[in-house]
């Protein structure tokens, strides 16, 4: 998910419609509304209080997040987050969308294990994946990120922090945490004690700092936001790059994955097929618009509309995706 520098407009829009924090009636409304197709889910709050961890594999716990924008009622918890327990230590990926969200996750970990939290992955720069990291500072873990994450955070972190604080309040938003261990192009392995995870630093795709993880023992893949399920993907890196990285992920041969947005665990093949279809439709449609002289604003309104009924929050992101694709592809 992205609420990158430019998408704050809709961010503010969503906040203005918030009825206040933690109202039970709001939560119920959210549930009911979520059942009604075609509703603007983005404007409806939920609460992380209702969120639950799902054990998707031995020692692997994931909280699946609602498909919403960051808001006071959801504490910024709009991305899938969780942890992996090894013999010796715990690894967190991702840590949450705010300090509050991260603190919630930390409490969930402590309900299940007392093992030290030695690694916190920050899978990319977007705030819904990076701002929970501050909740783990006292554990003194290694904060692990793509080699390009630091400069991306330096460029945008302060901006994200400010906007997030406007939505959640400064004390809930938390602060920017920089990686203390960088994963280079060759990748890296982390041993949690009898349990090895393999990390890959990807070429520019969803963003310019995407990190994925493979749990070697179970073969479960953690593609983070390289894989969106049900929630419309957001493009903030490179469209041809993302399609190329998807091919590399497919080649890993994992049959199941924990997506950055969507259910806590999915079968890889259909989920990747859906995402590939959306990105290909976006790419083909944008290239065609450029070739036939369709302006960027007309392209934004028309490209990939065949995908509209297949994704939650489509209208909130697709036009922006087309603009991103257009400004990249027009120089081809």
Partner 1 sequence: MKILPLAICLAVLAGVPLTRASASEPVNMEPERQERWNQIAQYLFGDRKVEPTETLIKLDAPKRAQDAALVPITLTMPEKNGIKSVYLVIDDNPAPFAAKFTFGPAADAGSVQLRVRIDTYTNVHAVAETKDGRLFETAAFVKASGGCSAPVAASDEKAMAGMGEMRMKFAEGAAAGKPVEATLMIRHPNFNGMQKNPITQYFTPPRYIDKMSVSSGNAKVFDLEADISLSTNPVITFSFVQNGREPLKVVASDTKDGHWEQGFDIPAAMN
Cross-strand bridge partners of residue 35: none
Nearer to partner 1, 30 or 207 (CB): 207
CA 62/CA 28 separation, integer angstroms: 23
Compose the 157-196 pattern: x for residues touching partner 1 by CB under 8 A, - for all others. -xx---x---------------------------------
In the three-class reduction of DSSP (H, G, I as helix; E, B as strand; rest coil), residue 194 is classed as coil
5 forms part of the interface with partner 1 (CB under 8 A)? yes
- Minimum CB separation of residue 197 from partner 1 in Å reads 26
Report in angstroms how near the CB of residue 327 gets to partner 1 at its nearest: 6
Residue 24 neighbours by CB distance under 10 Å = 10
Shortest reach from residue 43's CB to partner 1, in Å? 14
DSSP H helices, the chain, are 8-16, 24-35, 99-112, 127-130, 149-168, 170-173, 239-251, 268-291, 296-302, 314-329
Residue 300 sits in the site that holds partner 1 (CB under 8 A): yes
Q: Which of 46, 100, 130, 324 binds partner 1 (CB under 8 A)?
A: 324
- Residue 293 interacts with partner 1 (CB under 8 A)? yes
211-215: strand order across its sheet: 188-191, 196-201, 211-215, 220-228, 256-261, 266-267
C-alpha triplet 237, 331, 306: angle, nearest 5°? 65
The sign of the torsion formed by the CA atoms of 31, 14, 222, 255 equals positive
Q: Which stretch binds partner 1 (CB under 8 A): 10-18, 95-103, 189-197, 223-231?
A: 10-18
Q: Which is nearer to partner 1, 153 or 279 (CB)?
A: 153
Token digits for 168?
A: 């959640």
Among 13, 31, 32, 140, binds partner 1 (CB under 8 A): 13
When asked if residue 308 is in the footprint of partner 1 (CB under 8 A), the reply is no
Q: Which long-range contacts (C-beta less than 8 Å, at least 24 apart) are formed by 157-163?
A: 157/125, 157/130, 159/5, 160/3, 160/126, 160/127, 160/130, 160/131, 161/127, 161/131, 163/3, 163/8, 163/11, 163/127
Residues 96-155 that bind partner 1 (CB under 8 A): 148, 151-152, 154-155
The span of 70-78, 94-102, 178-186, 320-328 binding partner 1 (CB under 8 A) equals 320-328
Structure tokens at 32: 């009911």
- Is residue 245 near partner 1 by the rule CB under 8 A? no
Whole-number minimum distance, CB 127 to partner 1, in Å?
Answer: 13
* Window contacting partner 1 (CB under 8 A); options: 15-23, 212-220, 246-254, 294-302: 294-302
Min. distance of Cβ 186 from partner 1 in angstroms? Answer: 20
Structure tokens, 227? 């894989």
Where on the chain is the footprint of partner 1 (CB under 8 A)? 5-13, 148, 151-152, 154-156, 158-159, 163, 208, 292-293, 295-297, 300, 319-320, 323-324, 327, 330-331
């Amino acid at each position: 998910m992205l609420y990158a520098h430019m998408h704050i407009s809709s961010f503010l829009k969503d906040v203005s419609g918030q009825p206040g924090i933690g109202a039970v009636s709001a939560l119920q409304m959210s549930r009911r509304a979520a059942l009604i197709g075609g509703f603007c889910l983005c404007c409806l709050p939920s609460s992380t209080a209702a969120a639950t961890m799902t054990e998707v594999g031995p020692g692997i716990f994931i909280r699946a997040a609602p498909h919403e924008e960051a808001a006071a009622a959801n504490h910024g918890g709009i991305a899938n987050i969780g942890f992996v327990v090894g013999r010796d230590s715990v690894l967190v990926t991702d840590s949450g969308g705010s300090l509050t969200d991260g603190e919630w996750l930390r409490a969930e970990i402590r309900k299940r294990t007392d093992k030290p939290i030695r690694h916190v992955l920050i899978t990319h720069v977007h705030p819904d994946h990076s701002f929970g990291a501050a909740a783990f500072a006292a554990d003194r873990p290694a904060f692990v990120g793509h080699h390009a994450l630091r400069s991306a955070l330096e460029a945008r972190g302060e901006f994200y922090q400010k906007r997030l604080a406007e939505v959640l309040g400064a004390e809930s938003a938390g602060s920017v945490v920089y990686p203390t261990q960088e994963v280079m192009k060759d990748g890296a392995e982390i041993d949690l004690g009898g349990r090895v995870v393999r990390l890959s630093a990807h070429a520019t795709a969803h963003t310019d700092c995407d990190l994925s993880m493979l749990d070697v023992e179970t073969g479960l893949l953690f593609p983070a936001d390289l894989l969106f399920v049900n929630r419309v993907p957001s493009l903030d890196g490179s469209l041809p790059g993302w399609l190329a990285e998807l091919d590399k992920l497919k080649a890993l041969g994992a049959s199941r994955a924990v997506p950055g947005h969507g259910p806590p665990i999915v079968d890889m093949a259909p989920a990747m097929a859906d995402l590939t279809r959306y990105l290909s439709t976006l790419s083909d449609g944008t290239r065609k618009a450029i070739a036939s002289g369709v302006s960027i604003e007309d392209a934004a309104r028309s490209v990939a509309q065949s995908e509209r009924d297949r994704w939650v929050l489509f209208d909130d992101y697709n036009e922006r995706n087309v603009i991103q694709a257009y400004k990249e592809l027009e120089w081809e």
